[in-house]
Structure 1
Amino acid sequence: MFRGALQGDIGETPNMFGAIVDQSGTLFGVWAPDHREAEVVVTGKGSFSLSPQGKGYFAGHVPGVTAGDRYMFRLDGGAPVPDLASRWQPDGNDGPSVVVSDSFKWTDGDWPGPSASDEVIYELHIGTFTPEGTWPGALEKLEALKALGVTIVQVMPIGTFKGAFGWGYDTTLPYAPFAPYGSPDDMRRFVDTAHALGIAVILDVVYNHVGLGDHFRAYGEQFFTKRHESEWGASFNYDDYENGASAVRDFIVGNAVYWIEAFHVDGLRLDAVQAMIDDSDEHVVAAITRAVRTAAAPRTAYMVVENQPQERLMIERPEQGGMGVDAMYSDDFQHAVRVAATGHNDFYYRDYLGTPQELISALKYGFLYQGQRSDMRDAAYGTYNLDTPAQRFVHFLENHDQVANSATGARLGALMAPARLRAITALLLLGPQTPCLFQGQEFASSNPFLYFFGIDGEEAESVATGRRQSVSNFPSVVDPVMQNLLARPDDRSTFVRSKLDWAEAESNAPILALHRDLLQMRREDPSFSQTSERRIDGAVLGDAALVIRVTTHDPSGHRLLLINLGRDHNMGVTAEPLLAPPPGHRWMPYWSSEHPDYGGAGRRPMDAAAYWILPADCTLVLKPQA
């Protein structure tokens, strides 16, 4: 080991982060505004001082350092720390960083990118999606997702975090793909293969807080805001420009661009953007979206947000003061359908009754709460979105939060009868909004999806206590017996139990066939396309029955969706004009959730011009015949 002087031209790159390898060595850059000196310590090759570049930046080119070399930064002679912009951390959150080459033989040159319409999203967690819990393991399942009808895979956060396993939302080193999932090139092969199959890949990223065990403070407190408070702890400084906000924004926006350029990722799902507090002229969400689209060009990019206040400005154009994203997730649809299907509306479900009218309104307007009072919040909730196009909303029945926010992490198949599950699945997959499936939903996975975080010590106890308190907001979880049954997040068995059992794709083939057929109908029938000129309307038929009418210019394109989540419904009295067929046509059966191929009880004969019964827990699709 030796302490050497830097050689070579560092160029005009004072605001670069991380290690960039070239033919003669590696350029290192770091922002450490609290420090006067910075050096890079390269394993087996020595320590090298980095040159001050002004405004807290240090940089330098080290000849002979190549891909695979390990390094750490030392600031003001202190203990070595990982690079905040590390490209790989094979020894974990606290280990040395690794120089990584972005060279990869891509085969996706003709890939155009995703569309803003007619997409089908599939959310997965790499660690539990397959028994292996790796990128290569997930790659082997891409053919199955293609056959299902998926067009966008949304991957839960993969930035490095503390611990051996976790959901990923406690990201500490956002540029480094979590090593247990595989190498950076394993991730690239996954994306490249997905593109070859016509599937886009977007990443779930966390820019609203940093996770336990972060190293940001070792570099500078200026990374964090002192102006705003976040419910999850330290939040990034996006708007205090006298204290480094420009550098922080460069770091975060640069991370978003890195995934697009170095991994050919097709966009991002931004987590809880309401906690990305920013009073800048250009909000950081808008800056990220703009940068991602620029980096992806000429390919298209798909940007979607989780936004609890349900703010319309998220999808408005930047020139109108909006963020310019493509879509927003809507919890309202999931909450209303879950209450309708299970009958329970405690804790945050108490704002929903699960009535047929709620389901109709969710399909017509996306958000149910658009500025009226929420009982849970005891305040107005949501913003006006009555005229927002359907493709601007993403609807779902399950996601990581809504499955795990319970005592047992039970999937929907464990909470209701199979017939009811089939009926609500049709409502999701044929609804006008963009549908999203959660891993294993397509074959009614029976394994739970629990909250897991593989840390130890006092931090593990703190996380377990916080999780117990959170789910205890559901009254039934207060039961002492249930308290004793709650899975510990730090227990490896909690993580293992959450892995999918792919044998169920065969044993539960009927429900898988239902998903495939519905997505094929959505894909091939223009009446269900978000790009068609259609009108969506609906009406209540009974206590648990409703009709959704799709109206097009061409009478042959009209469709009726009849949903009944209650007892057999008498269709003898039908004083509802939406049930009327187009002139010169009559309604004919098109699809039924009770088809025997799906495990149903069989399709009852029906004649819409006569007395007939809409079966219990059933969805029917009718189309006109001249």
Structure 2
Amino acid sequence: MTNLGPERRTTDRRPSQGAEVLESGVRYRTWCEHDRVDVLIMDDARQVLRTVPLEPEGDGYFSGLDHGGRAGELYRYRLGETGDWPDPASRSQPQGVHGPSMVVDPKTFRWTDTSWQAPAYRDLIIYELHVGTFTEAGKFRSAIEKLAYLVELGVNAIEIMPVADFPGERNWGYDGVALYAPSRAYGTPDDFRALVDAAHAQRLAVILDVVYNHLGPDGNYLGCYHKGYFNAAHETPWGAGLNYEQAAVRDFFSENARYWMREFHIDGFRLDATHAMLDDSEQHILAEIAERVHAAGGFVIAEDDRNDPTLLRASDAGGFGFDGCWSDDFHHTVRVMLTKQREGYYANFEGTPRELADTLAHGWHYRGQPRLTSGKARGAESIDLGPEQFVYCISNHDQVGNRAFGERLGHVIDAPAYRAASALICLVPYTPMLFQGQEWCASTPFQFFTDHNQELGRLVTEGRRKEFKNFAAFADPEQRERIPDPQALTTFRNSKLRWDELRSEAHAQMLLLYQEFLGLRATHAALQNRSRDAWMVTELGDGIVALLYGEQGEFTVAVLVDLIGGHEMPNIDDARIAPGGGRDWRQILSSNEVRFGGSGETFSVPTTLVLEAV
């Protein structure tokens, strides 16, 4: 087990690996198990211009100073007699992940965000986007053109799917292998800095999705440097786990978030599949990452399927100190309610108004109950956690892209139901997150796409189709052949947003709904206090759930939610929802208003209705 002292954990030291531009030249440092390391300085044709030998420091580290080195030079490390490889801590891979690394000087970029202060975590409204499909050009700089639109929409944070460089020209980002290098498919490192700088100028926080549980299957050269990067005792879905118990490996990953903060001004992070980050150290790697990010003023959000409150509890209470966690239970309950589909993991959810009310009341639905499919207990009580710690959504990249054809929620349910669910996500007391294009019910899918080499690509295509063989719709092999080929360029192209859709009335009306409901969230005084004692949830019967802001007998705002429809308006004088104080309810917003594309009816079709006490 590691025993890392607090000073070593919290200080923002010089990076343990990589190429660093100094006044005296370029300093190189890497960790490997070989007896000799040389830096090969190359030209664009990969011809060696000069060789810089590195000296051993001990503990597997080698370092040296190239007095003639400068930013922009290409290099690879030659490890003993085994060959030469890209730098695992490369800041840029201009010729792809298999090519030479590039020396980058982050100090040459001229930042304009010196007065920037991120919104309080509790006030975040997150917009998840994929750089390659967010705009037609699919670049860091083209995304800048849409930032003002996002502000008008009503969000205050963008969550960017992983940008660590990956093999090929297109990828979701979870096959990244160069964890310190923004993908050249989207632009240069300075292009990424320009996007962050422009976002801050628009008062948008930037959350970066990072993957610390595995590296992709092509271009991962860690094993060429040191077999100690991996721990065979830790089994993960990708094979042997990363060896966080080894100090050098631990530093390589725990320093990464601070690197993005220091050199790219990232405000916070979403960590992919933290349940697969296995670590037997005295301080878990997740707790160390959270500690380092917090020390620099950032925040961390987990994707974790365990519903484990330990992630979210403070370190002094025995937790890992994460600020938030994706709460898939809400998504799954809503999805089952709206679609009645219960295959795969949806089989663990019934999609009833009672289940929705229970989830809204606690943050998670599963809090120690046995799963319906396996009988195994999942989760633990969450009522003591702050509502802002649960990130809610009705769409995200997984829940859209992991469907066979990448259909969005709005593609498979009718418009009133989509409007009602959309209005609800804007007003939950938890942290809401939107996925790119959902705010106008984009017609484009978000499909699974890759650009691997021919052999690996063939396996990925076969594996993708095999995933669905146990689903009734794809039991027939011929039906599985219809599933889009991840390797096909058309699969990627079909996933790009079509911004011209906003000129159509139906899409513009949906966008207006999001603007109005997010605007209400941001401006109505009663919705500003979302602490546990400032709201409550009750199931009224007849399929309607009430989210009440205020105290019992003194409610100020009522959000009445019917995701099924076919019901009558509930009795608003019901003692359970009465505003008290001799006041009455008046309607201020409805998801079924004509201006949003609705009929004006309430509850005969799915509806989210907002009432205010007067």
TM-score (normalizing by structure 1): 0.92
Measured in 1, the distance between the counterparts of 2:564 and 2:181 equals 50
Measured in 2, the distance between the counterparts of 1:574 and 1:57 equals 70
> Structure 1: which 5+ residue stretches go unaligned?
1-12, 240-244, 605-612
Pairing 1:537-552 to 2, within 5 Å after superposition: 537-552=536-551
Partner SS for 1:48: strand
Pairing 1:4-19 to 2, within 5 Å after superposition: 16-19=16-19
Tell me the residue number matched to 1:235. 241
Aligned with residue 561 of structure 1, among 549, 559, 562: 559
What letter corresponds to residue 24 of structure 1 in structure 2? S
Aligned with residue 100 of structure 1, among 83, 99, 104: 104
Tell me the residue number matched to 2:71. 67
Pairing 1:189-338 to 2, within 5 Å after superposition: 189-213=194-218, 214-239=220-245, 245-294=246-295, 296=296, 300-338=297-335
1:155-204 superposed Cα distances (whole Å, 9 cap, x missing partner): 10100112221111111110011101000000001101111111110111
1:28-85 superposed Cα distances (whole Å, 9 cap, x missing partner): 00001x2000000001530111000101100000012111100000000332100000
1:488-510 superposed Cα distances (whole Å, 9 cap, x missing partner): 11111111111111112232110
Shift of the alpha carbon at 1:459? Answer: 1.1
Pairing 1:107-506 to 2, within 5 Å after superposition: 107-213=112-218, 214-239=220-245, 245-294=246-295, 296=296, 300-506=297-503
Shift of the alpha carbon at 1:582? Answer: 1.4
What letter corresponds to residue 386 of structure 1 in structure 2? I
Partner SS for 1:171: coil
Shift of the alpha carbon at 1:562? Answer: 1.4
Aligned with residue 585 of structure 2, among 584, 587, 592: 587
Kindly tell me: are residues 43 and 599 of structure 1, through their superposed partners in 2, closer, same or farther at Cα, counting changes over 3 Å?
A: same
Partner SS for 1:74: strand
The alignment-based identity, stated in percent, is 39
1:385-429 superposed Cα distances (whole Å, 9 cap, x missing partner): 122221110000111110012121101111111111000111111
1:233-255 superposed Cα distances (whole Å, 9 cap, x missing partner): 2321012xxxxx10001111111
What letter corresponds to residue 203 of structure 1 in structure 2? L
Measured in 1, the distance between the counterparts of 2:195 and 2:426 equals 26
Partner SS for 2:234: coil
Tell me the residue number matched to 1:526. 525
The answer as to whether partners of 1:39 and 1:74 remain within 8 angstroms in 2 is yes
Shift of the alpha carbon at 1:118? Answer: 1.6
The answer as to whether partners of 1:163 and 1:453 remain within 8 angstroms in 2 is yes
1:412-458 superposed Cα distances (whole Å, 9 cap, x missing partner): 11111111100011111101110000011111111010111111322
Tell me the residue number matched to 2:6. none
The answer as to whether partners of 1:115 and 1:302 remain within 8 angstroms in 2 is no
Out of 108-117 and 585-594, give the one that drifted further: 108-117
Aligned-residue Cα RMSD (Å) equals: 1.8
Pairing 1:38-49 to 2, within 5 Å after superposition: 38-44=37-43, 45-49=49-53
Measured in 1, the distance between the counterparts of 2:522 and 2:358 equals 24
Out of 265-274 and 110-119, give the one that drifted further: 110-119
Measured in 2, the distance between the counterparts of 1:572 and 1:589 equals 13
Kindly tell me: are residues 601 and 395 of structure 1, through their superposed partners in 2, closer, same or farther at Cα, counting changes over 3 Å?
A: same
Partner SS for 2:123: coil
Tell me the residue number matched to 2:46. none
Aligned with residue 620 of structure 1, among 604, 609, 612: 609
Measured in 2, the distance between the counterparts of 1:530 and 1:27 equals 51
The answer as to whether partners of 1:549 and 1:578 remain within 8 angstroms in 2 is no
Measured in 2, the distance between the counterparts of 1:125 and 1:393 equals 22
Pairing 1:591-606 to 2, within 5 Å after superposition: 591-602=589-600, 604=601
The answer as to whether partners of 1:329 and 1:395 remain within 8 angstroms in 2 is yes
The answer as to whether partners of 2:444 and 2:498 remain within 8 angstroms in 1 is yes
Measured in 2, the distance between the counterparts of 1:181 and 1:573 equals 54
The answer as to whether partners of 2:391 and 2:431 remain within 8 angstroms in 1 is yes
Tell me the residue number matched to 1:510. 509
Kindly tell me: are residues 533 and 390 of structure 1, through their superposed partners in 2, closer, same or farther at Cα, counting changes over 3 Å?
A: closer
Shift of the alpha carbon at 1:306? Answer: 0.5
Partner SS for 1:509: helix
Measured in 2, the distance between the counterparts of 1:224 and 1:444 equals 43
Measured in 1, the distance between the counterparts of 2:501 and 2:580 equals 43
What letter corresponds to residue 264 of structure 1 in structure 2? H
Question: Number of paired residues?
Answer: 593
Tell me the residue number matched to 1:3. none
Kindly tell me: are residues 340 and 63 of structure 1, through their superposed partners in 2, closer, same or farther at Cα, counting changes over 3 Å?
A: same
Measured in 1, the distance between the counterparts of 2:82 and 2:444 equals 47
Shift of the alpha carbon at 1:292? Answer: 1.5
1:532-561 superposed Cα distances (whole Å, 9 cap, x missing partner): 685332333344322222224894x61111
Tell me the residue number matched to 1:35. 34
TM-score (normalizing by structure 2): 0.93
The answer as to whether partners of 1:238 and 1:284 remain within 8 angstroms in 2 is yes
> Structure 2: which 5+ residue stretches go unaligned?
1-12, 44-48
Partner SS for 1:373: coil
The answer as to whether partners of 1:334 and 1:397 remain within 8 angstroms in 2 is yes
1:86 counterpart = 2:90: yes
What letter corresponds to residue 116 of structure 1 in structure 2? Y
The answer as to whether partners of 2:386 and 2:531 remain within 8 angstroms in 1 is no
The answer as to whether partners of 1:188 and 1:263 remain within 8 angstroms in 2 is yes
Measured in 2, the distance between the counterparts of 1:530 and 1:582 equals 19
Measured in 2, the distance between the counterparts of 1:119 and 1:553 equals 27
Measured in 1, the distance between the counterparts of 2:577 and 2:56 equals 73
Measured in 1, the distance between the counterparts of 2:538 and 2:530 equals 24
